[in-house]
Structure 1
Amino acid sequence: MAFPLSDPDSRELTGGDLLAQSLKHVGVEVAFGLHGGHLDAFLMGCEFVGIRLVDTRHETVAVQAAEAYTKFTKKIGVCFVTANSGFSNGLPGLATAMADRSPILCITSSPPLRDAENNSLQGIIDQVVVARPLTKFAHRVTNPEDTPRIISHAIRVATSGAQGPVLVDFPIDMLFSPVCRRLISWGSISSPFSFAPGLHMGAIEEAVKLLRSAKRPAIIIGAGGNSSQEGGEQLTKLSQTCGIPIFDTTKCTMSIIPPNFPLHGGAAGKLALLPMLGKQQPDLIILLGGRTGMYLGGRSGAIVPKENCKLIHVDVDGGEIGRTLPVDLGAISDAGQFVTALNSHYHTAPFSGTVDSNWVKDAVSIQHLPSPFEQQPEVSPSSKRLHPYHALKHVFSSIQPGSIIILDGGEAPLWAADVLSVCRPSAVVRSTGNLGFLGNGFGYALGAAIAAPDRKVISLHGDGSAGFHFMDLDTYKRFDLDIMTIVVNNFCWGMSSNGQELMYGKKNPARPISSLSPVAEYDVVAKGLGHASAKLERIEDIESAVKRLQGIKGPSCINLLVDDKPVHPITASMVGQTDDPSVVVVPYYDNAPRAHYKF
C-alpha cells in the first residue's frame, strides 16, 4: 500500500515502523549506517519517530561510530547495514566491538524468508551464522510482531555482564509487511533495565585486608572501569582516601578522571620504567574492569610484577579473572559497584594502611619524565623532514584544552601519546584495541563528534591508517562536524618498516611491502571534500596553522610531514630483538627458547 510522506498516520504500520518505534521507546536517538533498499521501511520509520540517521561512506565506519557513541554517552550504540554486501563490510566493526567489549546493536536485512537458499540478490551468506562468533547474540526475526520483544532482549544481552555487540537480521518482507497490532509481542521492552552486577561482601572484606598491608598499591582501570561518571567520582574518592595512584590501560578513555587529578599516573605501561629508575615495583595492584594480556605486559612481569605483588582483579566476566595471571582476590562485579562498596566501608571504618607516599610521588611523576628526544634536532639532518616527537609536541601545544583525542595507527599514536598531555584532553581513545585494528579512528571520531558536539575532536592517523576510510571526511563535512583530522605522514608503515630494520639490520635494504607513497597529498584530497586544510613541513608554521584551523567552524585536515626515524622505543621493545643465541625472536610477542640449543 502506497502512502504519502506528508500524512504518515494514514498508512499501515509496517515492521520497519515497529522496529523504529521499539528503538525510540528504549531511548535510541541516533543510528549510524549506509543506505540499502532492504532497509527503507525501517529508515522511513526512523524519520517519522525522530531517530537521527547519520550515514557514512563505508559500513565499517558506521559500526565503529556506534561503538564510539556508546563510549561517550553510555547508551547503546545503534548501526544499520544492508543485506550481505553491507553486512560483510560491517564485520570489522563487529569484530572490534566484540574484542573490546563495546555494547552496540547492529540492524541488518536479508532477502524475503520465502527466498531462503534460492541464490537471491544479496542472499548468499547466512548473516546470522556468520555473525554469531563475532557477537553476543545474533537472531533472524521471522514475525514482525516479535520485534519489540527481540529488540529488548538483544539490548539487554549487549549491555549485561561482559558487554558486547548484538545483531538482529530483519528479512525485507518482515520490514515491509503490515503488522497485526493485537499479535505484537512486547516482551520486556517497557521494563526497567537491570542494574550493574554487584559483589559478595566477603570480597570487600578481603580487599580491605590486602589494602591494609600494602605499601605500594596502584589502581589500573580498563575500559570496564569507565562505566559511568559516578564511577569516576567514586574512583577518585577511593584514590584520595587511601592515597593510591590511578593508571589507565591503552583502551581506556580517561574521561572519568578529572583533569590534573594529582594521583593520576597516566598510562599503566609507565610502571614498567620503575626498575630502570631504581624504584620498587607495586606490591598490590587493583585491576578494575580491565583484562590482562598484551596491554599489561603479558606474563613478563614488567607492569604486573611476578613476585612480591598481590593482584585484585575486578571484572563482570569471571572468565577473565585468572586467565593470564594468578590472582589473590577475584571479584565478579561491575568496577563502579566494587569501588563504591569500598568507599562505603571506609566511610564507617577509616583507612588504616601505611602507603609509602614517596613511592606514590615517584610512580605518578614517571609520566612527566623528560623525553630522550627532547634534545634531538627538530629537523632530521639527513632527510630534512620534521622529527615526529617535536612536530607532534608543537601540534598538541597548539590544540585547545578539553578536546577529545582519537589515536589511530602504529607508530604515530606512540609519538602522540608521549606529548598529548600538553593539551589537557578531556578524553583519549586509542583505537587499535585488542585486535590491533587500523582505520577505526574515522568511525570513532564520527561517533565522538555526534555524542559530544560541544567538544573539538582531534583524529590523529599515521599515513597507513589514513588510507582505510579517508573518504569519510565527506561524512564529516556533510554533517558539519568539528573534527580535525591529522595525518602524520612519513611515507611508510612506520612500525612495519622499523620493525623489519630491527629484525634484519640497517645494512639490509629490503623492506617488503612497508613503503607508502611520498606524493600523496592528504590536504588536497581533504580540501576537495570541503575541509579547511594545511600541509605542514616546517616547525615554525605549526602553531599558527593549527590555531587557524581550530577557529574555522566545521571539519579540517592537516598533512604533517615527518621523518620515519628515529624508531619509537615501544616499537623496539615490541620487536624484542636480542643477541641472545638461546632464544628465537618472535616480534610483538614473548621470545621463545630455541629448541635443541646447547645451554
Structure 2
Amino acid sequence: MARIDGGQALVATLKRFGVDTIFTLHGGHLDCIYQAAVAEGFRIIDHRHEQAAGIAATGYARTTGKVGVAIVTAGGGVTNVVTAIANAYADCIGSVFIGGGPPLRDYDALPVNSGYDQLSVMGGITKWAHRVSHVERLPDLVGRAFHIAREGRPGPVYLDLPSDVLYALLEEGDIVYPSAMRVLPPAPAPSAVTAALELLRGAQRPVILAGGGVAYSAGSDLLNRFAELSGIPVMTNNKSRGSLPTDHPLWARGFGALGSAVGRGAGAPDVVLLLGARLGLYTGGRRKSVIPRDAKIIQVDISAEEIGRVRDVELGVVSDCREMLAALIAQAGNGPWSDRSAWVSGLRGDDAPKPPAPSAADGLTPGLVASTLASSVPADAILVLDGGETPAWFDGFAASLKPDRWLGHGYMGIMGEGLPLAVGAQTAHPDKRVICFSGDGAIGFNFAEFDTMVRHNLPVVVVVNNDQQWGMSAHGQDLIYGPGKRVASDLAATRYDVAASGFGAHAEYVASFEELGPALKRALESNRPACVNVMTKPVMNPITQRFMGLAAESLRSPEGKARVPYADVLEV
C-alpha cells in the first residue's frame, strides 16, 4: 500500500473542495505541499510579500464566490499575512490561510522561524484557528476549515501545520477524505416576511441598503426582481456595488447619498430594509448615522449577533439574504405597492443641479483622471480601488453593471491592497480586463507585485494618481491645523512608471491631459501588466472634510471640549 506525506494529503483534500489555485510566497517548510500541488496541476501564484499573497486570495474569493487559499511559511511569513487575515475577518471574506510551523517536537527549543505562538496571534482575527498535531487528522481538519470559512457569515480560518506533521507519512488507503458538504442557508420565518412586507408597504419613503450579504449569497438577481416589483430604491456599498446595476433607475448610489438627499430637501427614509449590511462606518457611525433616528429598520443578517449593533431595530430577521429576497418576492404579490417614483427621483437627485464635469482647464486633476479612465475601460472590467481620496474620485464616474466587479476598501481601510487584489481578480478571470486605480501613497506598499504580474502573465492595468502626497492625510492636516503644518504626509514625484518598467511591465508617464487618453489606450492594448503614472494636481476630495467631521471647523467646541477627527461628531 502506498504511503504519502502530509503535503500530498493536504493537496488531495484541497482538490476535493474545488481548489486549483494557491497564493503563496516560498518557504522551506512548505516544499512538500508545492511538489504535490504541481503534480495535481494546481496553479501556484507566488508573490513578493506574504501580505500580498493573503490579499490576492481574498480578491480571488470576492470575484468568484469560492474560498480563497493562501499558504505562507512559519515565523515572519505568518506575521506578514496578519493584515490580510484581519481584513478578511472585518469584511467577512471566506478564505483559508495555512501557515507552516516549526516541528512540534522542537516547539520550545527555538528552531528556525520560531520564537512565538503562531496560533495565539490568529485567535482574534479568524472564525477558527487550529494547530494540526497529527498527520492523520489533516484531511478532516482541512474539511472543517472550509466548512467554517464559507457557512453562515463567511470569514477567514487559519490552520497551523508543524513541519514534522506535514512531512510525516501515512498509508494512503487508510485516509478518509471529507466531503464538500453544503449546509442549507437559513430562511426567514413566514411571520417575519409578513411583518417586513407590512412595514415596507406602509412606508412613504422606504429604501433598501444592500450590503455584502447580498453579494455573498448570490442574491443580486432576486434583489433586482424585488426592487422592480416593489418600486423601492436600492443603495449599495463597496461589497455589493453592481448587485443592482448602476444604470438601473432604482439605484440611488451609496449609503452616504441619504444625507445628500436630506440636504436637498428630498426627505429622509421612514423605513429602511438593511439587507446584509452592517450598522457602522458605512452608515455614518453611531453619532451621525445617515439613517434617521425615527426611521424603522428591518435588519436582515445571517448572523444573529449582528442584529441591533449600534442601535435598536424595528424587526430583526436572521436569514440568508437570498432566502429572504425569495420569500419577499413570493409574498409581495399579495397586495398593491404604492407609486414612489417621486421619492426615488428625489433620492437620486434627478432634478438637482449637477456638479460641473472635470475640465482640462483646471489642470490634470484626480477627478479628470478618474472620469477619463472610467470612460476608457470595458463595460465588464473588474475595477480595483486603492488609496484614501483616490477611490472617492473614481466612485462618481464608474459604472458597475454586475456584482463582484468592484473591489474597494472595507472596514479596515488598509492601504496597499490594490495590486494584490488585482492579481487575485485577474487570476480568477483571465478573460476580463482588471483595472487598478491607486493613489501614489497606496501603490508603494506592494509595488513589487508588478513582478508577480509579469511572471504570471497577468495583464492588469494600474493607473497611479500621483499627486505627491498622502492625499487624505495631507488635506486633513491642512483643514485642522492650517497650511504649512503638514507632518509625514508629503511624497516625492516618484517615477513609478520607470520602476514598473524595471520589472518588465508596460510603462506610461503622463504629465498633461492630452497625453492621458492615448496612454490609457496603449496600456490597454499592450495586453501586458501596465503602469500609467499620472502626475496630478493636488485637489482635496469632499470625502476628506466629511471624515474630519466637526474637527475640520475647530479642534475645540464652543463648550471647550476636544473634537476627534475621523470620528464623525465625537467630542470628549
- Equivalent positions of 1:197-216 (< 5 A) are 197-216=186-205
2:351 & 2:24 partners in 1: Cα distance? 39
Which residue pairs with 1:268 in the alignment? 255
The answer (yes or no) to whether the contact 2:128–2:158 under 8 Å persists in 1 is yes
> Which letter does structure 2 place at the counterpart of 1:591?
V
The answer on 1:497 being equivalent to 2:474 is yes
Over residues 116-158 of structure 1, what are the superposed CA-to-partner deviations in whole Å (9 max), with x where a residue is unaligned?
1111111212111111111111111111111121011111111
The answer (yes or no) to whether the contact 2:244–2:401 under 8 Å persists in 1 is no
1:62 & 1:209 partners in 2: Cα distance? 47
Three-state SS of the structure 2 residue aligned to 1:274 is helix
Three-state SS of the structure 2 residue aligned to 1:460 is strand
Which residue pairs with 2:485 in the alignment? 510
1:208 & 1:64 partners in 2: Cα distance? 39
- Equivalent positions of 1:378-457 (< 5 A) are 378-379=362-363, 386-421=364-399, 427-457=404-434
Identity %: 34
The answer on 1:586 being equivalent to 2:564 is yes
- Equivalent positions of 1:56-95 (< 5 A) are 56-95=47-86
Three-state SS of the structure 2 residue aligned to 1:458 is strand
> Which letter does structure 2 place at the counterpart of 1:353?
W
1:247 to 226, 235, 255: 235
1:562 to 536, 543, 568: 536
Which residue pairs with 1:481 in the alignment? 458
* Gapped regions of structure 1 (runs ≥ 5): 1-9, 380-385, 595-599
Of residues 393-402 and 425-434 in structure 1, the stretch that sits farther from structure 2 once superposed is 425-434
1:369 & 1:221 partners in 2: Cα distance? 27
1:234 to 215, 219, 222: 222
Three-state SS of the structure 1 residue aligned to 2:436 is strand
2:41 & 2:106 partners in 1: Cα distance? 32
> Which letter does structure 1 place at the counterpart of 2:83?
P
The answer (yes or no) to whether the contact 2:505–2:530 under 8 Å persists in 1 is yes
2:11 to 20, 24, 29: 20
1:153 & 1:38 partners in 2: Cα distance? 23
Structure 1 residue 293: Cα displacement:
0.7
2:286 & 2:50 partners in 1: Cα distance? 37
Over residues 341-385 of structure 1, what are the superposed CA-to-partner deviations in whole Å (9 max), with x where a residue is unaligned?
1111125x2x42324211112223469962256469431xxxxxx
The answer (yes or no) to whether the contact 1:216–1:355 under 8 Å persists in 2 is no
Over residues 525-570 of structure 1, what are the superposed CA-to-partner deviations in whole Å (9 max), with x where a residue is unaligned?
11111111111111111111111211111211110111222x2111
The answer (yes or no) to whether the contact 2:209–2:273 under 8 Å persists in 1 is yes
The answer (yes or no) to whether the contact 1:402–1:426 under 8 Å persists in 2 is no
Three-state SS of the structure 2 residue aligned to 1:54 is strand
- Equivalent positions of 1:77-116 (< 5 A) are 77-116=68-107
The answer (yes or no) to whether the contact 1:461–1:488 under 8 Å persists in 2 is yes
The answer (yes or no) to whether the contact 1:401–1:426 under 8 Å persists in 2 is no
Three-state SS of the structure 1 residue aligned to 2:158 is strand
- Equivalent positions of 1:150-549 (< 5 A) are 150-181=141-172, 183-186=174-177, 189-190=178-179, 192-229=181-218, 231-249=219-237, 251-258=238-245, 260-307=247-294, 309-347=295-333, 349=334, 351-365=335-349, 370-371=354-355, 374=358, 377-379=361-363, 386-421=364-399, 427-506=404-483, 509-518=484-493, 520-549=494-523
> Which letter does structure 2 place at the counterpart of 1:585?
R
Distance 1:549 1:590, change over 3 A: closer
1:581 & 1:500 partners in 2: Cα distance? 21
Structure 1 residue 430: Cα displacement:
4.5
1:512 & 1:86 partners in 2: Cα distance? 32
1:370 & 1:377 partners in 2: Cα distance? 18
* Gapped regions of structure 2 (runs ≥ 5): none
The answer (yes or no) to whether the contact 1:65–1:444 under 8 Å persists in 2 is yes
1:367 & 1:500 partners in 2: Cα distance? 35
Structure 1 residue 216: Cα displacement:
1.1
> Which letter does structure 2 place at the counterpart of 1:444?
L
Distance 1:126 1:260, change over 3 A: same
Structure 1 residue 474: Cα displacement:
0.7
The answer (yes or no) to whether the contact 1:73–1:451 under 8 Å persists in 2 is yes
Over residues 293-328 of structure 1, what are the superposed CA-to-partner deviations in whole Å (9 max), with x where a residue is unaligned?
111111345521112x21111111111111112211
Distance 1:301 1:88, change over 3 A: closer
TM-score if structure 2 supplies the norm length? 0.95
Structure 1 residue 427: Cα displacement:
5.0
Q: RMSD of the TM alignment (CA)?
A: 2.0
Over residues 221-248 of structure 1, what are the superposed CA-to-partner deviations in whole Å (9 max), with x where a residue is unaligned?
111110244x111110000000011111
Distance 1:593 1:192, change over 3 A: closer
2:115 to 124, 133, 145: 124
Question: How many residue pairs get matched?
Answer: 567
Structure 1 residue 428: Cα displacement:
4.7
Distance 1:468 1:504, change over 3 A: same
Of residues 425-434 and 487-496 in structure 1, the stretch that sits farther from structure 2 once superposed is 425-434
The answer (yes or no) to whether the contact 1:409–1:464 under 8 Å persists in 2 is yes
Structure 1 residue 390: Cα displacement:
1.7
The answer (yes or no) to whether the contact 1:394–1:539 under 8 Å persists in 2 is no
Over residues 180-199 of structure 1, what are the superposed CA-to-partner deviations in whole Å (9 max), with x where a residue is unaligned?
3455354xx22522122222
Of residues 496-505 and 585-594 in structure 1, the stretch that sits farther from structure 2 once superposed is 585-594
Structure 1 residue 43: Cα displacement:
1.1
